[in-house]
Chain A
Amino acid sequence: MLLSVENLKSSYGKIKALHGINFHIDEGEVVCIIGANGAGKSTTLMSISRMQSVEPGSKMTFMGKNLLDYPADKVVSKLGISHVPEGRRLFGNLTVMENIILSAFARKDKKAVRNDIERVFSIFPRLEERKTQKAGTLSGGEQQMLAVGRAFISARKLMLLDEPSMGLAPLLMLNVFDALKQINKEGTAILLVEQNARMALQFSQRGYVLETGNIIIEGKSEYLLNSPDVKKAYLGA
């Protein structure tokens, strides 16, 4: 098991966002969490990347290590978990290339970094064309490419993706998901969080359904795609 999450609880002041959820990810897997707006998907990812504090009793283990022993930057640089946050959150005042260089901040393997940057440019040639452009001036699709590319360079055992399809035209969305598929084939496990349930379930092997801070259904993505409950509530059928 790559990541195991047990009894994860998190809140914003008095508002409870997660009521003790359990899930896991195996090596090389693509897992999705689907759920409506406000279900707690982003809070889940932010808890894993230690951007959001969790309540006592929560347990998270990554490759045998207690994830709670690591601060946010070390989750990336020591454990190898990258996070593409909701809304991309690029540094709009930095160029595309600077965003990429920054994502390698803690890496010491200079040669491998150079190869990885080339790899990113071969997956997303558009980024190379726009290398010197400020990230704030990119189109939505290009921004998502940069967000994924940046995560790819920062860490690669597990990638957390928060609604990568949001705001993208269908064709660009397929583009981004194709790239993610390639990245996964090369060994990166993916935890994908989406409101676009159909897309997420088609892309993943297993899925969890999150509703107001509780996981209510889980199973193989195929099974979830055909489950009447999921269909009715999340697939608009």
Chain B
Amino acid sequence: MQYFLQNLVNGLQWGSFYALVAIGYSMVYGILMLFNFAHGDIFMVGAYIGFFTATGLVALAAVGNIILPSWVIITLTMLIAMFLNAFVGMAVERIGYRPLRDAPRASAAITGLMIGIILETGNLALLGASRRAFPPLIKPVTYNISGVFITNQKILIIVVALSLTFMLHLFIRHTKWGMAMRAMAYDFVITPLMGVPLNTIIALTFAIGSALAAAAGVLFGIAYPVLGPYMGIIIGWKAFVAAILGGRGSILGSAAAGFLLGFIEIFVVMIFPSTMRDFIAYSIILLILTFLPNGFFGEPYSARLRL
């Protein structure tokens, strides 16, 4: 039982990254019917922005001889990385996708792949091949809750991921911007007739998705402090799987699927050798999708109405 609970906690942490990245995929798909294949690399850029911010803050504190409590550094790193990465996402949309708004979806999809490659190799060209070590921001403390070991770091990751997801959910439900996003997901072309500026809402969508990806990047850096230019690829692909599994365009659905992916991967390793993790985990997911072709919360067929 303890073993099970332990893995549950580990799965929650592991799923947090998938969930936060999957939401960005899902939001963009919901509105533009576009798979933003650059999103995994936007996550990578967010992690790097977090790395530079955190390193800078630590250095600044050292120079100024100020003792910054770690929660201040973490909060600042998180907010700055989210803020700056929002602009990265908006730039990707503005430069990469907007000129192809009316092009065939396949062109937009390969645009995403190309932007992804550009971000990866741009990073390589700019920073070189050496990997970066995320500065330790949090002094690890392990709590033993009746035999289940939980670190403060895990708690941080899980709590931040869950609260960001929940806040976004409230935003989408209750603000006029959220309503505009849902309206565009239903009937894109007609939305301007309500006085809604489409490009602003699309930019906002990319900004939010990229900010969440940056949050995931910072959390990832805290948990696995080695960053590399290709770190976004696998996480990006798996988050993409979560976005589809959750039901295209459903925020809570893709977050839930992200956590499910985390659980499945962790629980597979409970039973099988870890080299077989993804082989078995993704065979299971393939099977799930066979029975639930629309994902958990997806609509059977979302016909986008055209004028």
8 Å CB contact of B307 from A46, A92, A93, A155: A46
Contact (Cβ within 8 A) B194 A102: yes
Contact (Cβ within 8 A) B193 A91: no
Verify if A144 is at the interface (C-beta below 8 Å from B): no
Contact (Cβ within 8 A) A83 B180: no
Contact (Cβ within 8 A) B192 A73: yes
Q: How far is the CA of A145 from the CA of B307 in the complex (A)?
A: 21
Within 8 A of B (CB), among A67-109: 71-74, 76-77, 82-83, 85, 89, 91-94, 98, 101-107
Contact (Cβ within 8 A) A85 B183: no
Q: How far is the CA of A103 from the CA of B183 in the complex (A)?
A: 11
Q: What is the distance, in angstroms, from B303's C-beta to the closest C-beta of chain A?
A: 11
Contact (Cβ within 8 A) B194 A76: yes
Verify if B195 is at the interface (C-beta below 8 Å from A): yes
Chain B residue numbers with a CB within 8 Å of A89 are 187, 190, 193, 305
Verify if A51 is at the interface (C-beta below 8 Å from B): yes
Chain B residue numbers with a CB within 8 Å of A76 are 192-195
Known contacts: A49-B193, A71-B192, A155-B195. The answer to whether A105 contacts B187 by CB under 8 A is no
Contact (Cβ within 8 A) A91 B186: yes
Chain A residue numbers with a CB within 8 Å of B23 are none
Q: How far is the CA of A77 from the CA of B179 in the complex (A)?
A: 17
Q: How far is the CA of A183 from the CA of B183 in the complex (A)?
A: 26
Verify if B189 is at the interface (C-beta below 8 Å from A): yes
Q: What is the distance, in angstroms, from B183's C-beta to the closest C-beta of chain A?
A: 4
Verify if A58 is at the interface (C-beta below 8 Å from B): no
Chain B residue numbers with a CB within 8 Å of A107 are 195
Contact (Cβ within 8 A) B192 A94: no
Q: How large is the interface on A (under 10, 10 to 19, 20 to 34, 35 or more residues)?
A: 20 to 34
Contact (Cβ within 8 A) A154 B195: yes
8 Å CB contact of B182 from A91, A103, A155: A91
8 Å CB contact of A103 from B195, B197, B198: B195
8 Å CB contact of B193 from A51, A94, A104: A51
Q: How far is the CA of A146 from the CA of B192 in the complex (A)?
A: 17
Q: What is the distance, in angstroms, from B305's C-beta to the closest C-beta of chain A?
A: 7
Considering the complex, give the chain B residue whose CB is closest to the CB of A106.
B195
Q: How far is the CA of A91 from the CA of B178 in the complex (A)?
A: 13
Chain A residue numbers with a CB within 8 Å of B179 are 94, 98, 101-102
Verify if B185 is at the interface (C-beta below 8 Å from A): yes
Chain B residue numbers with a CB within 8 Å of A74 are 197
Q: What is the distance, in angstroms, from B275's C-beta to the closest C-beta of chain A?
A: 44
Chain B residue numbers with a CB within 8 Å of A77 are 195
Contact (Cβ within 8 A) A105 B180: yes
Contact (Cβ within 8 A) B190 A102: no
Verify if A41 is at the interface (C-beta below 8 Å from B): no
Verify if A150 is at the interface (C-beta below 8 Å from B): yes
Q: How far is the CA of A93 from the CA of B195 in the complex (A)?
A: 19
Verify if A175 is at the interface (C-beta below 8 Å from B): no
Q: How far is the CA of A73 from the CA of B184 in the complex (A)?
A: 13
Verify if A133 is at the interface (C-beta below 8 Å from B): no
Within 8 A of A (CB), among B275-307: 305, 307
8 Å CB contact of A94 from B183, B189, B305: B183
Verify if A205 is at the interface (C-beta below 8 Å from B): no
Verify if A52 is at the interface (C-beta below 8 Å from B): yes
Verify if B73 is at the interface (C-beta below 8 Å from A): no
Considering the complex, give the chain B residue whose CB is closest to the CB of A155.
B195
Considering the complex, give the chain A residue whose CB is closest to the CB of B184.
A91
Known contacts: A51-B307, A52-B307, A98-B179. The answer to whether A105 contacts B194 by CB under 8 A is yes
Contact (Cβ within 8 A) B197 A73: yes
Verify if B176 is at the interface (C-beta below 8 Å from A): yes
8 Å CB contact of A154 from B180, B194, B305: B194
Chain B residue numbers with a CB within 8 Å of A94 are 179, 182-183, 186
8 Å CB contact of A102 from B176, B198, B307: B176
Verify if B196 is at the interface (C-beta below 8 Å from A): yes
Contact (Cβ within 8 A) A91 B195: no
Q: How far is the CA of A94 from the CA of B190 in the complex (A)?
A: 14
Q: How far is the CA of A111 from the CA of B182 in the complex (A)?
A: 25
| Chain A 153-166: CB-based contact to B (< 8 A → 1; otherwise 0) | 01100000000000
Considering the complex, give the chain B residue whose CB is closest to the CB of A160.
B193
B residues with CB within 8 A of A: 176, 179-180, 182-183, 185-187, 189-190, 192-198, 305, 307
In the A-B complex, the 10 residue pairs with the closest CB atoms: A106-B195, A72-B192, A77-B195, A76-B195, A73-B192, A91-B183, A89-B190, A93-B186, A73-B197, A102-B179
Chain A to chain B contacts (Cβ below 8 Å), 15 pairs? A72-B193, A73-B192, A73-B194, A73-B196, A73-B197, A76-B192, A77-B195, A85-B307, A89-B193, A91-B187, A94-B183, A98-B182, A102-B196, A105-B180, A107-B195
A91-B186, A154-B194 known; 19 new pairs, CB 8 Å cut-off, are: A49-B193, A73-B194, A73-B197, A74-B197, A76-B195, A77-B195, A82-B193, A89-B305, A93-B186, A94-B179, A98-B179, A102-B179, A102-B196, A105-B176, A105-B196, A106-B195, A150-B194, A154-B195, A155-B195
